[in-house]
Structure 1
């Protein structure tokens, strides 16, 4: 009996998450109501409230789940310092490609800015951790450099998503890493 309830609970949460993402593709979270989510999910409001406090709580849970999933996904790879940045960027882009609709929705105009910040934190954690040691820069410079590089990279990724992912994850990883490593001199 308990296993059946767990499956039902998982299904309910899954359908509520999917319903919110569908609505977010059309309008911002502030314009969405719990009633609309429940109508799309074909679930009554009392059931919604047994799982989530409100639609903002649901969005936060979706973002936290994606963040955890990305960390697990990226943690499953091990690279040398020399190849780490490009390979981690490629793996991050592959993850985004595999979850295209979710990222199109959460990173674009109706998305939540805190999700972008979470993504930046994950990217900094995985792509920047060895820069300080390799480049012999202090902690303050490393923090500012990683903020500069990762925020620029996130915006390049958003542009890539808007352009229907017109380059492969590997090609985009090369582009992003060339920009990060060589800056404007890359264009010379």
Structure 2
């Protein structure tokens, strides 16, 4: 399917959503390899002709689900087109809107991400997320016009560290059942980026011991 969702007939859009929800639910229960088209159509309460009108097989369905979600993930983690670094607060207690948007996106599609980052997901999915996060990190550096040659730590190490922080917090949040709000998670990510884990813990300890 290559239809623009904005131009799609609402009935077709609902059908596609039902099919996709059925696939994700079944993958949670039994894993992709054990899911059949018959399982999907029964769960979605549609006939096989309707399924094949939109997808060649379950592999194309999964590919389309992943591609669309990764496109949305890329949009969520990207800075606004009119963003300038003058708008960026250096206060570690003020999370950027892009971080909040990212966690809101994860929350909206929690079942999908929880599945794909588990052992029932598809191989290489976490790597795709890491690549998108890393590209976003480098894009932010370009916008900031930072002289990466002057940085003492190799930039690839910085990028890997930042990427791991993003993915690690998102994975933990999902596995824990999302006990915190997107805004709270965005704030923790900002603090870890600016202060680092050691400084975050040190500041917390000093605060607790203060009279």
TM-score normalised by the chain length of structure 1: 0.78
Decide which moves more: 134-143 or 120-129. Answer: 134-143
Aligned partners of 2:77 and 2:99 also within 8 Å: no
Structure 1 residue runs of 4+, over 6 Å off? Answer: none
**Are residue 121 (structure 1) and residue 131 (structure 2) matched?**
yes
Aligned partners of 1:21 and 1:102 also within 8 Å: yes
Please give the alpha-carbon distance, in whole angstroms, between the structure 1 residues aligned to 2:63 and 2:89: 33
**Displacement, 1:119?**
2.6
User: Could you tell me which residue of structure 2 aligns to residue 38 of structure 1?
Assistant: 41
User: Could you tell me which residue of structure 2 aligns to residue 174 of structure 1?
Assistant: 187
Task: Decide which structure has greater helix share.
Answer: 1
Please give the alpha-carbon distance, in whole angstroms, between the structure 2 residues aligned to 1:185 and 1:141: 20
Decide which moves more: 163-172 or 177-186. Answer: 177-186
Question: Quick one: structure 1 residues 8 and 167, their matched pair in 2 at CA, closer, same or farther if it must change by over 3 Å?
Answer: closer
**Displacement, 1:23?**
0.8
Question: Quick one: structure 1 residues 172 and 11, their matched pair in 2 at CA, closer, same or farther if it must change by over 3 Å?
Answer: closer
Q: Which residue of the other structure, out of 178, 182, 187, is the alignment partner of 1:165?
A: 178
Q: Which residue of the other structure, out of 96, 105, 116, is the alignment partner of 1:106?
A: 116
User: Could you tell me which residue of structure 1 aligns to residue 64 of structure 2?
Assistant: 61
Please give the alpha-carbon distance, in whole angstroms, between the structure 1 residues aligned to 2:77 and 2:197: 29
Please give the alpha-carbon distance, in whole angstroms, between the structure 2 residues aligned to 1:29 and 1:102: 13
- SS, match of residue 71 in structure 2: helix
Decide which moves more: 156-165 or 166-175. Answer: 166-175
Question: Quick one: structure 1 residues 175 and 113, their matched pair in 2 at CA, closer, same or farther if it must change by over 3 Å?
Answer: farther
**Are residue 130 (structure 1) and residue 130 (structure 2) matched?**
no
**Displacement, 1:105?**
2.8
RMSD: 3.1
Q: Which residue of the other structure, out of 182, 185, 198, is the alignment partner of 1:185?
A: 198
Question: Quick one: structure 1 residues 170 and 127, their matched pair in 2 at CA, closer, same or farther if it must change by over 3 Å?
Answer: farther
Please give the alpha-carbon distance, in whole angstroms, between the structure 1 residues aligned to 2:137 and 2:102: 10
Question: Quick one: structure 1 residues 108 and 114, their matched pair in 2 at CA, closer, same or farther if it must change by over 3 Å?
Answer: same
Aligned partners of 1:33 and 1:55 also within 8 Å: yes
Q: Which residue of the other structure, out of 24, 28, 32, is the alignment partner of 2:27?
A: 24
Instruction: In structure 1, list runs of 5 or more residues that go unmatched.
Output: none
